[in-house]
Amino acid sequence: MSEANRVIDLSASNEAGAIYALQLNELNRPPRTLWGDVWRRFRRHKLAITGMLVLLFFALSVIVGPSLYVAWRSNQAERAGMPLSDFDRTFTKMMEQLDYTALMAKPSLQHPFGTDELGRDLLARSLYGGRVSLSVGVVAMLIAISLGTLVGASAGFFGGRIDQILMRLTDLFLSLPVLPLLLLTVYLFRDPVTKLLGPIFGIFTIVVVMIGALAWMSTARIVRALFLSLKEKEFVEAATCLGIPRSSIMFRHILPNAFSPIIVAATLEVGNAIITESVLSFLGVGFPPDTPTWGRLVTDGNQFLQAAPWMPLIPGALIFLTVLSINFMGDGLRDALDPRSRL
């Protein structure tokens, strides 16, 4: 009997020790945070992770790729016994280099993306065009999100007549035809702005400002709805009772709690801006013809679709993959930031 009691006591002590070890492990575990939960849920979204990796690859390619391209071409020229001078050892010079022995050449090891009708390497022009297209998407997104957040926050926080005026202004912008207005603006302001800022930066300014100024309305409505709900919460009442200024309540207390849908809207706006810029370039009213963007490359290669299908298809595929990756990331962020799916 005593032997059985000792066995029972030993098993009980082992179980108690295991429970104590688990409790100690829970106490030593770092506390869970909101963004930690968001990242954990985002990692489970396979399409979102794939989209993020593809987008990071494209971003690194357009940032680091030109330097690697110059080094690669320089090594090729040295191996061929024709070293390049310092004047020609620049990415811009290599991008515009004509090779009349390889007109509309198919993709190969020498030209991975092929060449165009003048023998220019499409890989170099795609890297440069990616810089322009991604820059347009990011800057236009920042303008749209900033305007939408400011308008929506003001309408939702102050309410009353300010809300009515700002929402009617939003409805007015929603009723505007975006593409015809963009075309009209480019035609009207192209010459004065390009004379003031230069041909490339002038068109860049017109395009990103107009795309951003015509894409803030959905963000404004989302932010307004969030502010109408959040300003009735207890923490806002407590801040008001403590005498905190209204501007601080608006931007330091309410706005951080509305970041989740704003981040999702921002990711989707980048893709929309890239498509809009590509449409403008395809219609011939975007950047100058000597400035390759992905949309311009599609336009230039469209007339050679049967003879050299890689000319329009490769930049079109880059646009497609970029926008698709951004949309996948937006879907993943929407699911990860949904409080109803919080673990």
Which of 43, 56, 122, 39 has its CA nearest to residue 321? 56
- 3-state DSSP assignment of residue 216: coil
121 beta partners: 115
Mean pLDDT lowest among 114-123, 161-170, 284-293, 300-309: 284-293
Q: What contacts 58, CB < 8 A, 6 or more positions away?
A: 130, 134, 318, 321, 322, 325
> What class, spelled out in words, does domain 122-341 have in CATH?
mainly alpha
pLDDT band at 221 (very low <50, low <70, confident <90, very high): very high
Domain map of the chain by residue range? 1-30, 122-341
**With the CA atoms of 51, 55, 60 and 65 taken in that order, what torsion angle do they form, in degrees rounded to the nearest 10?**
110
Reported as a single tens digit per residue, the pLDDT across 316-329 is 899 899 988 988 88
Q: Please tell me what DSSP assigns to residue 99.
A: -
Which of 129, 92, 55 has its CA nearest to residue 295? 129
Percent of the chain surpassing pLDDT 70: 85
Task: Enter the pTM of the model.
Answer: 0.81
Asked if 132 contacts 207 with a C-beta cutoff of 8 angstroms, the reply is no
Q: What contacts 153, CB < 8 A, 6 or more positions away?
A: 223, 224, 227, 250, 251, 254, 255, 258
- 3-state DSSP assignment of residue 9: helix
The answer on pLDDT for 10 being more than 50 is no
- Type of residue found at 195: K
The structure tokens 């029972």 sit at 8
Reported as a single tens digit per residue, the pLDDT across 44-81 is 888 889 999 999 999 999 999 888 888 888 887 777 67
- 3-state DSSP assignment of residue 257: helix
Which of 87, 148, 96, 82 has its CA nearest to residue 124? 96
Can you list the alpha helix ranges (DSSP code H) found in the chain? 2-28, 34-43, 46-79, 91-95, 122-158, 160-174, 178-197, 199-213, 217-230, 234-241, 246-248, 259-282, 294-302, 310-336
The structure tokens 């593809």 sit at 54
Indicate the average pLDDT of the chain.
Answer: 82
d(CA 71, CA 91): 10
Q: What contacts 81, CB < 8 A, 6 or more positions away?
A: none
Reported as a single tens digit per residue, the pLDDT across 247-274 is 888 888 888 888 878 888 888 888 888 8
Which of 245, 216, 225, 248 has its CA nearest to residue 145? 216
pLDDT at 343: 41
Q: In whole angstroms, what separates CA 277 from the centre of its chain?
A: 14
Reported as a single tens digit per residue, the pLDDT across 295-317 is 888 888 888 888 888 888 999 89
d(CA 172, CA 105): 50
pLDDT band at 8 (very low <50, low <70, confident <90, very high): very low
- 3-state DSSP assignment of residue 103: coil
Q: Please tell me what DSSP assigns to residue 97.
A: -
d(CA 171, CA 78): 61
Which comes out higher in pLDDT, residue 33 or 336?
336
Reported as a single tens digit per residue, the pLDDT across 99-144 is 777 888 888 888 888 888 888 889 989 999 888 889 998 999 999 9
d(CA 330, CA 324): 10
> CA dist 131 to 90, 111, 325, Å?
16, 20, 17
pLDDT at 140: 92
d(CA 127, CA 48): 24
